[in-house]
Structure 1
Amino acid sequence: MNQDRIDHILEQWQQELPQLDASALAVVGRVLRIARLLEKQRETVLSEYGLSLWSFDVLATLRRQGPPYRLKPTDLYGLLMLSSGAMTNRIDRLEQDGIVERLRDPGDRRSVMVQLTPKGVQLADTVVPALLSTEQELLSHFATPDEINTLTSLLRKLLASLEKTVK
């Protein structure tokens, strides 16, 4: 079996502090490393479309709402786990790029809605399939669909546990 960086790190800890139980690092270290590598992969694909990770998150979140592809800024920053200030800056930048627009909320004239422009919808409809195709290709290294299902189930279990305990 091939060894990875985490195996090397575990061996180093075993050598330096053999009494240390570093077994959690076998999972956590790999999950963190995988997350970083997947982010780099996403950044590469998204940069071809002039997008960053954060701009794609906003674009995709609005697009998957369905027509008319809009949310209140508070809902948007809640879904993206951002502060209102960070969300305002992101909306400003995407508005300058013609990807989103601010509209008066018809239900409350004091507030606004953030909506994808036709350019934003078209961009999302181009980028999302390209990104998912690239990510599907990354998963093609699994031998069987059962392996992917097992991994999905285990990751779901870990994520659900973390979402309950980490605030």
Structure 2
Amino acid sequence: MERDHVDRMLQAWTDRDPQLATEPLAVAGRILRLARFLDIAIARGLTPLGLSFEDFDVLNTLRREGGGPVRPSALARAALISSGAMTARMGRLQNRGLITRTGDDGDRRAVQVSLTADGEALATRALAAVLDADESVLAPMDAASRTAVADGLRTLLVPLEHSGTA
């Protein structure tokens, strides 16, 4: 099997300090590098659409939640971001005509967020671009390998999500 950057890094650490327990880096280092490659591929897919990943996330979280109307606080929770970050993103998206913010009939102090028709169309195109980017990175893996990796990552993520530390 061909060696990657992490293999070379681990070998360098073994050469430098043979007693150092570097086994966790074999997985963690690859997860971090893979995340960076995915970030780059996704950014390339979204750039022609004029979207950052953060704006894509808001649009498609809203789309996944049914398009609206949704309270910004619920949208922020679903997107796993702070309400302050959500407010800034909503302002950008509203200025582009991709979302609307309207008063909440049940609470005059609150607002509701909805996708516009343009927002729905762009969210659909953006999701296709992100899925294409994901596929381009994952292409070397067959279906069984993808399932095994997804299961292994779930094994790591579930206890972290339950601990509330992330």
Shared fold (TM-score, shorter chain, > 0.5) = yes
Q: Percent identity?
A: 39
Corresponding residue for residue 47 of structure 1: 47
Deviation sequence 1:10-69 (CA, Å, 0-9, x none): 111111121110100000010011011101100000001010010000011001112x43
Name the CA distance, whole Å, in 1 between partners of 2:132 and 2:90: 27
Which of structures 1 and 2 has the larger relative contact order (alpha carbons within 8 angstroms, sep 6+)?
Answer: 2
Q: Please list every run of 5 or more consecutive structure 2 residues that lacks an aligned counterpart in the other structure.
A: none
Q: Does residue 78 in structure 1 map to residue 65 in structure 2?
A: no
Name the CA distance, whole Å, in 2 between partners of 1:31 and 1:23: 13
Paired amino acid for 2:104: D
- TM-score (structure 1 length as normaliser): 0.91
- TM-score (structure 2 length as normaliser): 0.92
**Residue in structure 1 matching 2:144, options 143, 146, 163:** 146
The total of aligned residue pairs comes to: 165
Q: Residues 112-123 of structure 1: matches in 2 within 5 Å?
A: 112-123=111-122
Q: Please list every run of 5 or more consecutive structure 1 residues that lacks an aligned counterpart in the other structure.
A: none
Corresponding residue for residue 20 of structure 1: 20
How far apart are 1:161 and its partner, in Å?
2.5
Q: RMSD between aligned alpha carbons? A: 1.5
Paired amino acid for 1:34: L
CA contact (8 A) 2:46 2:129 kept: no
Name the CA distance, whole Å, in 2 between partners of 1:41 and 1:58: 19
Corresponding residue for residue 160 of structure 1: 158
Q: Which runs of 4+ in 1 moved over 6 A?
A: none
Name the CA distance, whole Å, in 2 between partners of 1:53 and 1:29: 23
Paired amino acid for 1:146: A
Could you tell which deviates more after superposition, 6-15 or 129-138?
129-138
Corresponding residue for residue 59 of structure 1: 59
Paired amino acid for 1:52: S
CA contact (8 A) 2:38 2:133 kept: no
Paired amino acid for 2:59: L
How far apart are 1:7 and its partner, in Å?
0.8
Q: Does residue 87 in structure 1 map to residue 86 in structure 2?
A: yes
